[in-house]
């Protein structure tokens, strides 16, 4: 009995010693990490380094951050050629939504919509709807593992991202079919431009490079646009006065008849650019519900920030959401108010760095014009064909009912407009 007691005490003492040793090792390594960064301070600058932790060795503040959670392709000419295709994809999607008797999850459906847009418009793939659904599931699995720890073990997320076998199989088949069917195309998609541009520079893209290119193009147009689309739908739902003011602008610009029917062929790039209130709505959605929280930059020259020096060579993160929330130029920052971007108020013009939903400087998001174009077309189609109302008071659901269209005499409801869609967010 005494012998067993001594063994237990010895085991506990060993465990305690191990815990103390690990704690001391972590503490010492963190202090050395702090000293390592302190040594990078610019000696020619007398300002102190900012207070705060530099995080743990190697991983820095990654854990804390996680807890707080090209170009011709986007030129004016390219966007003009994309527009009819984008509108067609959105129209087809809204018809599909309205044919479903059950409620839908808006964010999930918006993900499918932006994926379909990227596949059909940016890549120009002609994929059957069933195969497109399978490719979407494969892509979803890829996205879910993109931010895995870089540990190359079997069945790890990092290994799945590196292999990408299911995606490459589907994308390779679509690329080969696309390369064989180049006759009769009415526009050049982003992948066409990418291929032709590489040829102009004397380099033929390999199949692997084409597969990687498709992945990058979809990744750039996928999640963030889906998030912004969901926010747009929600704000139009919650603010019927904004929706009605948008409809008034569409009627005034000849995009809608007085009865609510959309005018055929009314959407062009210059037409959309002239819709000032629509532009204000999109800007306000991106201010209040920015899909990207921030970005990373490397300091090229030591600068001062609130009395502290930020040394050259440091990596810094700027917060888009915090900037929008704290910028003094915006009044009532929590209120959805598109008119703050009107010519009369122009709150975003009082300073260069108060409004930056797409980042800023030379690394501004290349796809920002495509994203805004997509959101504008979505808003126009929704305002033209749908009315919004809450389906229940206890669960955030949207009911989208295609807007009652009138015949040429403005006195009869057209039967094909009587479908209804319920959607959840």
Where is the binding site for heme, in residues?
A: 365
Whether 55 contacts 62, CB under 8 Å: yes
A 10 A CB-CB count for 64 gives: 12
CA count, 13 A, side-chain hemisphere, 35: 6
Q: What share of the chain is helix, strand, coil (3-state, %, to 5)?
A: 55, 10, 35
Distance CA 263, CA 408 (A): 12
Which residue in this structure is represented by tokens 């379909």?
116
C-beta neighbour count of 268 within 10 angstroms:
12
HEC per residue, 185-243? CCCCCHHHHHHHHHHHCCCCCCHHHHHHHHHHHHHHHCHHHHHHHHHHHHHHHHCHHHH
Alpha carbon distances (Å) from 95 to 91, 104, 256, 360, 385: 6, 13, 19, 37, 10
CA dist 355 and 330 (Å) reads 9
Binding annotation = 365
Inter-CA distances, 390 with 111, 127, 260, 398, 404, Å: 22, 35, 21, 5, 18
Cβ-Cβ contacts under 8 Å for 42 (sequence gap 6 or more)? 302, 309, 311, 312
Alpha-carbon 257 to chain mean position: 33
**How is residue 75 annotated by DSSP?**
S
Question: Which residues 6+ apart lie within 8 Å of 382 measured at CB?
Answer: 94, 233, 236, 388, 400
Residues 201, 268: Cα–Cα separation, whole Å: 32
Residue 290 backbone zone (phi > 0: left; psi -120 to 50: alpha; other: beta): beta
């Amino acid at each position: 009995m005494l012998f067993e007691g001594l063994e237990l005490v010895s085991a506990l003492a060993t465990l305690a010693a191990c815990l103390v040793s690990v704690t001391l090792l972590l503490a010492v390594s963190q202090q050395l990490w702090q000293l390592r960064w302190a040594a990078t301070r610019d000696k020619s600058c007398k300002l102190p380094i900012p207070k705060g932790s530099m995080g743990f060795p190697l991983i820095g503040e990654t854990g804390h951050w996680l807890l707080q959670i090209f170009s011709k392709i986007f030129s004016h000419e390219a966007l003009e050629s994309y527009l009819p295709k984008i509108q067609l994809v959105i129209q087809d999607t809204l018809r599909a939504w309205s044919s479903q008797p059950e409620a839908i999850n808006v964010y999930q459906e918006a993900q499918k919509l932006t994926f379909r847009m990227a596949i059909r418009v940016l890549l120009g793939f002609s994929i059957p709807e069933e195969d497109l659904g399978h490719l979407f599931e494969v892509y979803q699995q890829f996205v879910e593992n993109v931010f895995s720890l870089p540990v190359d073990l079997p069945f790890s997320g990092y290994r799945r991202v590196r292999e990408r076998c299911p995606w490459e199989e589907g994308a390779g088949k679509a690329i080969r079919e696309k390369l064989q069917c180049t006759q009769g195309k009415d526009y050049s998609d982003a992948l066409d431009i990418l291929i032709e541009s590489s040829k102009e520079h004397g380099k033929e893209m390999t199949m692997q490079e084409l597969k990687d290119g498709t992945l990058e193009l979809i990744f750039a147009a996928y999640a963030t646009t889906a998030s912004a689309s969901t926010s747009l739908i929600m704000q139009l739902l919650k603010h019927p006065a904004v929706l009605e003011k948008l409809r008034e602008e569409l009627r005034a610009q000849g995009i809608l008849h007085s009865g609510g029917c959309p005018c055929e062929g009314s959407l062009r790039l210059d037409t959309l650019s002239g819709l000032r209130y629509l532009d204000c709505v999109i800007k306000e959605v991106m201010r209040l519900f920015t899909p990207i929280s921030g970005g990373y930059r490397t300091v090229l020259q030591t600068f001062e920030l609130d009395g502290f020096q930020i040394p050259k060579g440091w990596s810094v993160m700027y917060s888009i959401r915090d900037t929008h929330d704290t910028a003094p130029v915006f009044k009532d920052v929590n209120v959805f108010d598109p008119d703050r971007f009107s010519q009369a108020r122009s709150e975003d013009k009082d300073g260069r760095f108060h409004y930056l939903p797409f980042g800023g400087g030379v690394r501004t998001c290349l796809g920002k014009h495509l994203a805004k174009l997509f959101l504008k077309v979505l808003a126009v189609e929704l305002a033209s064909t749908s009315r919004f109302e809450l389906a229940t008071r206890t669960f955030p659901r949207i009911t989208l009912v295609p807007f009652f269209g009138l015949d040429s005499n403005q006195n009869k409801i057209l039967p094909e407009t009587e479908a209804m869609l319920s959607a959840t967010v």
